[in-house]
Each structure stands twice: as C-alpha cells, then as structure tokens.
Structure 1
Amino acid sequence: MKSLFFSVLFLCLSFVCTAQTQYEEISSIKLDETRQLKIQLPRNYESNVEKTYPVIVVLDGDYLFEPVAGNVDYYSYWEEMPEVIVVGINQVDTRDSDTYYDDVSYLPVDEGAAFFEFIGLELMPWLDEKYRTNQFRMVVGHDLTANFMNYYLMKSPALFQGYVSLSPDLAPEMETRLVARLGATEQKIFYYLATATEDIRVLRETIEPLNSQIKLVSNSNLKYYYDNFEGATHYSLVGRAIPKAIEEIFSIYRPISKKEYKEVLLKLDGSPYDYLIDKYTTVKQLFGLDDAMRVNDIIAVGKALEKKSNWEGMEQLGQLARKQYPDTMLGNYYLALSFEKSGEPKKAMRTYQNAYLLEEISFLTKDLMLDKADQIKADFGY
C-alpha cells in the first residue's frame, strides 16, 4: 500500500514539472509585508489567449501546493477536471498568526483578520488583474487553515464556491456556525470534509459530529462529500483526500462514463439529450467554461437515445452535432438515423449519402455511410 501511495505521489509531482509553475511575491498593505506565492498555470495557458480559468487557492502552500498542483495537472491532462490556476500561499513562518481568532467571539482578529482581508481584498483582485481568471474559486486547507477557510462562508456572497477541508482544527462554535451557513446559502457550494481512523483524536472528536450535522442539512445549493480514510494518519490522509476531493467536486465536468451511461442515461425518465444539454450548461455556469462537447459524450447520448427509441431526441442530437462538429459526419449520422427510424427512408438515404463528403470521426466511416444508404435503397427500391 505504501509503495502504491508513493508511486501515485511521484507521478503527480512529476506532472508539476511539465506545467507552468512560477514563484511570485505580492506586497500586502493589510499584512504590512510581502508574501510569497507559488502559482501553477495550465499547460496551454499561453496559447489559449481567449480562455479564462477557475482558481484554486491553497493555504499552507509551503507543503500543500505540490500535492494539489500535481493532482490538478494530472486530472486536467486526462480531462477529469477543468484546467485551473493553482495558487499556493506560503505560511511556513506565519501559520499561527494568520489563523488567529478571538478567544471570546472565535472570529478572526488582529493578524488573523488582516490575513482574512489580505486574501479577499488583495490577493484575489491581484490574481484577477494579472491572470485570466473566471468566477469559480476553491480553497484547500489543513487543520488550522481548514478551520480558517470556513470564515469565508460566513459572508454573503461567499468568496469561494469550493472548500476542501482536510482534518480541520475547529474553533469553538464553528460547527454550529458552519452548519447554519451551509443550510442557508443561496450560492452553489461544494464542501469536502476528510478525516482518518488514525487522525489526531481531539480533531476526530469534533469532525465526526460535524459530519453528522452537515449530512442533515437540506439545501439543494449544497454538494457535500465526506471521507474517513481507514488506516491513514493526520498527514497521510492529505495524499488520499486531495484526489478524492477533485473527483467529487468536479464530477459534473468528467466525460460520461460507462457507469453514468448505465445507471443514469438509460434510467432517465426524461430525454438523454436534455441531460447532455443540462450537463454542459452546468459546467459553463459553474466553471465559466464554454468548451465544445466531447465527441464521446455525444456518442454515449446517441446510444442511449437509440436504446430508448427516442427519435425526436436523436434528431435534436444530430442538429447539435452538426453545430459542434460541422466538418464531420457526426451530425448527419444521427439525423439520418432519426429519419430512418421515424419512417422517412428517402430523407435518411440522402442524409447518409451527404455524409460521405464529410470527415470521418470515431466509428463513423465513409464505407459505413454508403452501406447505410445502399441498404435503404435496396429495401425500398429507390
């Protein structure tokens, strides 16, 4: 198990070397000092000059940045999550003061209040001005910083939409405050919480009740995820939780899998076509991305429509595929199939024939299109 863990960690760290990682300094009036940052830009950041990117802020950047950045680069390379800008804040000498809160109100004061304002009023505007960012922002923290990031949820609207809380060292009253805010939020919030069976005992004693309370929250705007890693410690849970958090929070972005096809698309009460439209609309709204639909997603929906004999949806899919991939035969294929199954064989035959002039894509070939047209011609004597 250890060898597997270190192999995965090495792979993730090796991906950092191929992404664009740079070191910056930001002068802060709030902190009255200069802060060091680590910033990883997406691989194609320089060439995709029109594209904007979500931002992940990593607290405890002196040790959390590399595992987060490595996983982000790996998952985005395989299109399991969108490309994002990762920003690590170095807190090696300031961690205790950065996360300081009042003994009575249990809210940030003094250096803690200054650090809170530094991120919201200085760092995020600086990033927005210097880089091509969009509206989705996520934050990652571990024990003290995992508690601290919750304070951003206490403001409306919250600065971050995604929260990765790794074994938080919760302040008094944080459990009550956090549950109340998650229950009342009108923003879409993604909240991931992790502990482990070998985590620090006093932390587990507050994390487990917190999980029980959040699970009772009824709010359609909240997406909540929890893990309790068997055999992991306070430190090793980080390596297991980061990829799990990425998988959960960005699940809507991933290509349609075999499991999603069988358990969701084929069991829908509505149309798989509508599911596809909703999926990409949600991705655009959440992550500010307007990428072309994946060919494999269109094909998966096409198979589901065929299984359900939903020929109206198939025609809609064909029109959509024509817009998404106009130079290929993808759209013509689904249009022709819808015409064929809806009792319009002559129209289907001509659409298959016209596809011959377009580019092949995936399983669709010129021979297949001609065979389809010839079969209709033979069947109906055209």
Structure 2
Amino acid sequence: MRLFLSILLLLPLLCLGQPAKQTSTPITIGTKQTIHSAILKEDRNLWIYVPKSAADTKTRFPVLYLLDGEGFFTSMVGTVDYLSALGKMPEMIIVGIENTDRVRDLTPTHFPFWASGKPANELKASGGGPNFMAFLEKEVMPYIEKRYQTQPYRMLVGHSLGGLTVLQALVNQPTLFTSYVAIDPSIWWDNKLIMKQAEKALTQKDYAGENLFFATANTMDKGMDTVRVVQDEAQGNHNVRNHLLFRETLRKSKNLAWAWKYYPEDNHGSVPFPAQYDALRFFFKKYELDKDLKDSTITLEYVKNHYRTVSAILQYPVLPAVGTVNALGYISMGEKRYDKAYQFFKMNLENYPTNAGLHDSMGDYYVEVGDKKKAMEAFRKALSLEEIAETRRKLKSLEARK
C-alpha cells in the first residue's frame, strides 16, 4: 500500500518530466484588407469580421462600422459573437476602420485649440471629417456591400473624437445609418459646435426609425456629482457637463429612439467596453424571445411570428437565431417531446444548411430516438462541412456498435 501511495505522489512529477506533444493552431476572428481611397488619396486598412453562418448563401447580415478599428475590433467582435450566439441580437458583419491620421479624419472642422481655448499643435491637421465621411459612404460601404451578404441595417460606433463623428453623422446624415453609438464624445470641439447643430436638427428632422446610444464616462473631479456639475464652471468637469446638456437636447428630439447612460465607475479610457455591450442590448432589446426558453408553450409558429415582428422593427427579414432554436430543440428533446424537438432542429437546418453544428445536433436527435443510420448520416454531413472533434467521436462510437 505504501509503495502504491508513493507512486501516486510521484506520478505528477514523472508526468512533468514527459512534456506533452504540443500543437499550434491560429485562432482567427477576421481579416485585414487594404483598399485605396481616391477621396483621401491614401491606402486604408479595414478589419473585417464575418459570421461563420455566412457560408450559407441565404444568410445576409446587418453591418457595424467601427471607428478606431484597431483599438476596439477584438472586443466588439467578441461581444457581438457572444450575444448573437445567445439569441439576444442578430449576427453582424463588423468593419473596423484603422486610423492613419485620427485627428484629421475624426474632426468636422479645423480647430487647433483645446476645450480651454489653449492652442494645440496636435490638432493642426484637424478638419478632415467631411472627406472621411465621404470615404466611408462612397468607398468603404460600396466595397463591403459588393463583396459580402449585407442587409440595409447599418450601425456606426465611435469613441471620443470618434463619438463626435458619430453625432455629426446623426445630425447631418441621419439616413446613412440605422443606429448610432456615441461613446464619451468630444462635444467640446469647436466651441461645442455639435450642440448647436443638434439643437436645430434633432428638433426639426423626423428621426423615426433611427436609434442613438450615448455613453458618458466619469471624468469629473473627485467629490463632484452629476447634479452640481451642471452649475459648475471648472474646466476639468466640462465633459460631463456638456453631455448632460446634450441629453436635454435629446429629450426634444423628434421620434428619435435614444438612451443616455452615465458610467460612474468608468473613465474616458475604460468606458468603451461596457458601453459597447449596453448599446447592443438597447438596440436589440426586442430581438430575444419574450418567453423563457423552458416555457412549454413555445411552439414553432410562436418562434416564426416573433421573428416576423423583429423583421418589421429592423426593417429587413430576420431569420430565427441559431442558438435560440437549437436550445429549444435540446430542451424539447430533454423533455421527450421528440416531435417538437425535430421541428426545431429541422427549421434550423432549413435556415442554415451549411452549419456543421446544426447537423451534429440533428445527429444527437436521431441517436436519442434510436435511429442509428440517420444519426450517422447527420454526423457525416457535419464532418463534411467542418472537422469537429466531438462529432468525430460520436460517429466512431456509432460505427463501433454492431
């Protein structure tokens, strides 16, 4: 017994002495593509993410255009991919626009001064915003829409000067995008020019069908609060003060669907991450089913009707979310409602026939109902589309049975 215990204690050390065989496989979430801009007279890099289900030629996607793409691409892709897998929003193509001259492109006017009025050499290149928006509208969007399966729904997301650019687009080009995300925008720019423009545009133009999420970071002096800051005149508190004043303008807007959120625990640098998530949840709050997935009253027709309503809201045809329908299939199967489970799995495959995971799920269904032949066919179909280790294991297990 003592010898046996000694071997057990030594086993981890012995294992450490035998390094495991290592393999390395890149994890890819997108591609970087270079296009030449005749408007800006330079090459520009685009960071592009396309959902896996794009392999199905029937599927088309809304597009999210992301300013400061090199900084926020990874977090935005992760957030969109995760929320869409949960059925809380549609899958989206994401286009991150990499900077070359950020100050030039993300400022609407030439204004080489800080908010305090102090001259700023760093801002001497400012004022190229109109050209940048022309580049986005006339070169980037046609490039994306020609090469990818897009829907007419477009979202623009920007932080700081990028947030200012988002507000400029909302005010001056309100039909170019469906949804706008302004994260801690630089409203102070050019003596708060955007506030004057917004006061006029938002109250006069009809913004029906347009959406805005406005995020404000806590950049106030310690001890200051959002009540007293409106009357405060300290330069260091101007950002939050301006944002609160802008909120009053939003309250006067004509049919604009908007949300304004203050983040007391986040500064200018940290606020983009939580704001990205909150913006997506705001825009797509009606996308998710309004019943718990375990609700036994959910039927195939209920799911179809829900997504007809979502399609009307988003103004393009929306297929039922892959993850949601697959979950309903497994829940029904677990409750031994096999006819219902089959209906959900079948609808998913009809909508997304090239999704390997869905063929794997159908294989699980056939295993559950005892149809070995069809289960093997489903697993083989899944593996013909994508090599999945778990699917391969299931198939080998069935082939080993006599």
TM over 0.5: yes
What SS does the aligned partner of 1:173 have? helix
1:133 pairs with 2:133: no
Counterpart residue identity of residue 37, structure 1: L
CA gap 1:110/1:102 in 2 versus in 1, 3 angstroms = closer
From 238, 241, 246, the counterpart of 1:210: 246
Aligned to 1:81: 89
Counterpart residue identity of residue 202, structure 2: L
Deviation at 1:29, TM superposition (A): 0.1
Aligned residues: 277
Deviation at 1:58, TM superposition (A): 0.4
What SS does the aligned partner of 2:87 have? coil
CA gap 1:275/1:23 in 2 versus in 1, 3 angstroms = closer
**Bigger Cα Rg:** 2
Aligned to 2:104: 97
From 163, 170, 182, the counterpart of 1:165: 182
Deviation at 1:257, TM superposition (A): 4.3
From 25, 35, 40, the counterpart of 2:49: 40
Measure the CA separation in 2 of the matches of 1:167 and 1:179.
Answer: 19
Counterpart residue identity of residue 237, structure 2: R
From 144, 147, 153, the counterpart of 2:164: 147
What SS does the aligned partner of 1:251 have? coil
Give CA deviations for 1:28-63 in whole Å, capped at 9, x if unaligned. Answer: 000000001111111222x21121110000001121
Measure the CA separation in 2 of the matches of 1:214 and 1:186.
Answer: 11
Structure 1 unaligned blocks of 5 or more: 1-16, 262-272, 300-320, 329-360, 366-382
Give CA deviations for 1:171-214 in whole Å, capped at 9, x if unaligned. Answer: 32312322443342344111000112236732212111111221
CA contact (8 A) 2:76 2:276 kept: yes
1:286 pairs with 2:311: no
TM-score, normalised with respect to structure 1: 0.63
Aligned to 2:278: 244
CA gap 1:157/1:38 in 2 versus in 1, 3 angstroms = same
Measure the CA separation in 1 of the matches of 2:163 and 2:48.
Answer: 20
Give CA deviations for 1:74-99 in whole Å, capped at 9, x if unaligned. Answer: 111111110100010111x4100102
Counterpart residue identity of residue 287, structure 2: Y
Measure the CA separation in 2 of the matches of 1:235 and 1:96.
Answer: 17
CA gap 1:296/1:35 in 2 versus in 1, 3 angstroms = closer
From 18, 22, 37, the counterpart of 1:28: 37
Give CA deviations for 1:139-175 in whole Å, capped at 9, x if unaligned. Answer: 1101111111222224455211111110000132312
Counterpart residue identity of residue 102, structure 2: R
CA contact (8 A) 2:218 2:265 kept: yes
Give CA deviations for 1:298-351 in whole Å, capped at 9, x if unaligned. Answer: 99xxxxxxxxxxxxxxxxxxxxx9xx87989xxxxxxxxxxxxxxxxxxxxxxx
Aligned to 1:197: 218
Aligned to 1:181: 201
CA gap 1:251/1:180 in 2 versus in 1, 3 angstroms = farther
What SS does the aligned partner of 2:265 have? strand
What SS does the aligned partner of 2:264 have? strand
CA gap 1:211/1:154 in 2 versus in 1, 3 angstroms = closer
Aligned to 1:114: 131
Aligned to 2:267: 233
CA gap 1:228/1:186 in 2 versus in 1, 3 angstroms = closer
Deviation at 1:277, TM superposition (A): 4.0
Relative contact order higher in (CA < 8 Å, ≥ 6 apart): 2
Measure the CA separation in 2 of the matches of 1:182 and 1:77.
Answer: 35
CA contact (8 A) 2:304 2:320 kept: no
Measure the CA separation in 2 of the matches of 1:287 and 1:19.
Answer: 31
Measure the CA separation in 1 of the matches of 2:180 and 2:346.
Answer: 41
Measure the CA separation in 1 of the matches of 2:207 and 2:271.
Answer: 31
1:254 pairs with 2:288: yes
- Cα RMSD of the aligned pairs, angstroms, is 3.7
What SS does the aligned partner of 1:134 have? strand
Aligned to 2:76: 68
Measure the CA separation in 1 of the matches of 2:86 and 2:303.
Answer: 22
What SS does the aligned partner of 2:180 have? strand
What SS does the aligned partner of 1:252 have? coil
Structure 2 unaligned blocks of 5 or more: 1-25, 112-124, 221-235, 296-300, 330-339, 348-364, 370-402
CA gap 1:327/1:205 in 2 versus in 1, 3 angstroms = closer
Structure 1, 79-88 or 192-201: larger mean CA deviation? 192-201
1:56 pairs with 2:56: no
CA contact (8 A) 1:54 1:287 kept: no
